[in-house]
């Protein structure tokens, strides 16, 4: 191999490895026992290994192990300390849940927690068990846990395609990447089917018909192949990390960057998952982009839900989110891709192509050079999940009303002057009304008013009157010409108004952030920084808020708040959790979702400096993507300002 082809790890890559090693030293180690289907022996293997660790002198406890009343599995619980589960009453059922508080208090070296993908009852702090496991890892406790491959988030659509069985409980791939080791529990499909027929496979949550459909030899072979691939990828990542740690020369490829276009559709989540898998395979950074245009800025509740779910999934899978306003989706996406050195674009494949109106993928393919474009075919969805027709807004109805009123006024004026003016002069009156409509209203109301004006003019003013018959072909040509002119004027006016509105919004946002960053740069004390931040949040969101900051001992304390923000043990506890775990919590998240405020950590690339809490429940409001981006920018700028003051004190 030529010397140029050999590339040793860069300093940045070695720094990344060192950072990961530091984080690993602070946290507990996660071991995942992975299976391709229920019944392959994950819990048994987990308990067996726990006994081996106990013999080595490791302090082991069983936090939760689902034995399904199998005698051989229950025997393995004997000799292990068992943390008694919480008994939770949920809809008349007595549920056994992991007592995480007791585990944290007991603080063993290793704890066994089964069924990683389990969803917690509504009153629990975290919505998912894997989030609780993450807290235990952050406390420095090692965890053994079990998971089936169908519960991995990015594989959800693929598993559905294979088995036609919807899996609702999933674990983000980013969490699975935390695992120090993934152990595959493997059986041949024949052995697993025999265990199923012997009653040794526990499938209480699946109807008998679903069991027969799921446990087919072809399905099991496909799932087994996926599980083997997951483990192979994990081993490959470990090998790459080892080579970087030891500065071993290798084919260290230049990082790719993938951009995926997200639209408000039932397929948005599928597109995110497919992009994540693709980006992971080629070790690329990936970005989810949504272009807001005048045409698609008013969403139905269903469309907004699809879009929010897609972006929530993007966050959980570690992707970057970009929301851009523009008047053309293709142009904005290409401009962003070129400005950010994107190498590949992923977009949904349209169901049909039109000769007269090129689709977005067609435009991307034709207008991009040196950028690969990938089309993803969405999996079928049930009929009721398809896009609902948008209801006409009150603003749109008003446009139709006023544009029609203008034509009616022109008609009244024309009838009054009918005996005094020529046909061309009467036509000019209608043309003036249509020009007025073209400048003030959207294209649809303008086209409707054109059709109405042609019918009225033909009926009242063109012989033979009071009929729709046109005896002179010249009138028809005139109608067509002025229809084209009016539509052209309307189109240009609409584009101009859209551009002006977008420019105004962009200018306001940029000037607001510039003003904030300028004020933060000028701040010389922590109190000034906090005052600037709290006032900016109040101005932008018109709600109560608070900022918690870390002191010299890295303990979180209240730094500033608005008058009526309620500071109590709950708000302080959520802020502390957010600070320790460096993740959002509270209203609108999956962690302590019943809280009244949203908590966002203030993080720089080097450290965390505090937490911003913003009251949302009392005003019954979920943040839009635009507002969320603005709040993230505020928290980041605030963290940078606090970091600057800290460095100034140290120098």
pLDDT of residue 383: 39
pLDDT of residue 211: 66
> If one looks up domain 11-245 in CATH, what number appears?
3.40.50.300
Start-end ranges of CATH 3.40.50.300 in the chain?
Answer: 11-245
Start-end ranges of CATH 3.30.450.40 in the chain?
Answer: 523-650
3-state secondary structure of 540: helix
Give, for 96, the enclosing helix (H) or strand (E): strand 93-97
3-state secondary structure of 640: helix
Topology given in CATH for the domain delimited by 523-650: Beta-Lactamase (3.30.450)
pLDDT lower than 50: segments of the chain? 1-8, 10-12, 14-15, 18, 21-22, 24, 249-254, 382-392
pLDDT of residue 575: 92
Cα–Cα distances in Å, from 239 out to 14, 61, 236, 244, 253?
14, 31, 5, 9, 15
pLDDT of residue 612: 94
Alpha helices (H) along 542-606: 569-581
pLDDT of residue 506: 63
In 10 A of CB 213, how many CB atoms? Answer: 14
Between CA 565 and CA 562 the distance in angstroms is 6
pLDDT digits (tens, 9 = 90+) for 209-264: 556 677 888 888 889 988 888 888 777 667 666 665 555 544 444 468 899 999 88
Between CA 487 and CA 493 the distance in angstroms is 10
What residues form DSSP beta bridges with 517? none
Start-end ranges of CATH 3.40.50.620 in the chain?
Answer: 257-384
629 burial class (0-12, 13-18, 19+ CB within 10 angstroms)? middle
Q: What is the pTM (predicted TM-score) of this model? A: 0.62
Asked if the 257-384 domain carries CATH number 3.30.530.80, the reply is: no
User: Is the CB of residue 628 less than 8 Å from the CB of residue 621?
Assistant: no
Mean per-residue pLDDT of the chain: 81
Cα–Cα distances in Å, from 152 out to 133, 227, 445?
16, 10, 49
Between CA 26 and CA 97 the distance in angstroms is 27
């Amino acid at each position: 191999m030529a010397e140029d082809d050999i590339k040793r790890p860069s300093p940045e890559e070695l720094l990344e490895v060192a950072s990961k090693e530091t984080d690993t030293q602070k946290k507990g180690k996660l071991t995942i026992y992975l299976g391709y289907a229920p019944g392959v022996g994950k819990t048994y293997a987990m308990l067996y290994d726990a006994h081996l660790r106990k013999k080595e002198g490791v302090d082991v406890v069983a936090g939760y192990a689902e034995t399904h009343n199998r005698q051989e599995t229950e025997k393995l619980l004997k000799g292990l300390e068992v943390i008694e589960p919480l008994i939770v009453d949920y809809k008349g059922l007595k549920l056994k849940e992991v007592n995480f508080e007791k585990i944290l208090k007991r603080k063993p070296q290793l704890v066994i927690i089964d069924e990683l993908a389990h969803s917690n009852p509504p009153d629990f702090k975290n919505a998912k068990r894997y989030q609780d496991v993450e807290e235990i890892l952050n406390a420095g406790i090692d965890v053994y846990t079990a998971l089936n491959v169908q519960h991995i988030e990015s594989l959800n659509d693929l598993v559905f395609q294979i088995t036609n069985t919807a899996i609702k409980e999933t674990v983000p791939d980013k969490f699975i990447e935390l695992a120090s080791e993934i152990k595959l529990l493997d059986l041949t499909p024949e052995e697993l089917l025999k265990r199923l027929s012997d009653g040794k496979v526990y499938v209480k949550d699946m109807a008998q018909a679903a069991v027969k459909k799921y446990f087919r030899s072809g399905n099991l072979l496909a799932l087994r192949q996926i599980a083997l691939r997951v483990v192979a990828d994990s081993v490959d990542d470990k090998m790459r990390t080892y080579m970087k740690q030891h500065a071993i020369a290798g084919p260290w490829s230049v990082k790719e960057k993938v951009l995926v276009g997200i639209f408000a559709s039932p397929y948005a989540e599928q597109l995110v998952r497919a992009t994540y898998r693709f980006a992971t395979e080629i070790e690329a950074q990936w970005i989810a982009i949504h272009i807001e245009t005048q045409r698609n800025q008013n969403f139905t509740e269903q469309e907004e839900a699809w879009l929010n779910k897609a972006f929530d999934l993007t966050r959980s899978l570690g992707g970057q989110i970009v929301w851009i306003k523009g008047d053309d989706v293709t142009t904005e996406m290409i401009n962003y891709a070129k400005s950010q050195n994107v190498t590949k674009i992923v977009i949904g494949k349209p169901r049909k192509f039109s000769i007269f109106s090129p689709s977005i993928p067609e435009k991307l393919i034709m207008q991009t050079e040196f950028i690969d474009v990938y089309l993803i075919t969405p999996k079928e969805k049930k009929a009721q999940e398809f896009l609902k027709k948008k209801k006409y807004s009150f603003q749109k109805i008003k446009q139709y009303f006023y544009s029609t009123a203008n034509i009616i006024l022109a008609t009244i004026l024309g009838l009054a002057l009918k005996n005094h003016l020529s046909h061309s002069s009467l036509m000019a009156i209608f043309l003036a009304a249509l020009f007025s409509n073209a400048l003030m209203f959207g294209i649809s109301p303008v086209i409707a008013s054109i059709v109405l004006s042609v019918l009225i003019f033909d009926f009242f003013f063109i012989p033979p009157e009071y009929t729709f018959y046109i005896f002179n072909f010249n009138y028809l040509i005139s109608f067509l010409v002025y229809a084209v002119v009016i539509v052209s004027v309307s189109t240009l006016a609409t584009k101009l108004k859209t551009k002006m509105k977008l420019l105004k919004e962009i200018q306001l946002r940029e000037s607001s952030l510039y003003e904030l960053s300028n004020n933060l740069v000028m701040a010389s004390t922590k109190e000034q920084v906090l005052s600037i931040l709290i006032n900016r949040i109040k101005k932008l969101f018109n709600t109560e808020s608070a900022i918690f900051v870390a002191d010299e001992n890295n303990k979180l304390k209240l730094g500033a708040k608005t008058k009526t923000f309620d500071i109590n043990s709950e708000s302080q506890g959520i802020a502390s959790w957010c600070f320790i775990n460096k993740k959002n919590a509270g209203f609108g998240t999956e962690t302590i979702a019943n809280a009244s405020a949203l908590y966002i950590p203030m993080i720089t690339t080097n450290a965390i400096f505090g937490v911003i809490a913003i009251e949302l429940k009392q005003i019954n409001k979920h943040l839009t993507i635009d507002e969320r981006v603005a709040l993230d920018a505020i928290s980041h700028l605030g963290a940078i300002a606090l970091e600057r003051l800290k460095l100034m004190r140290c120098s």
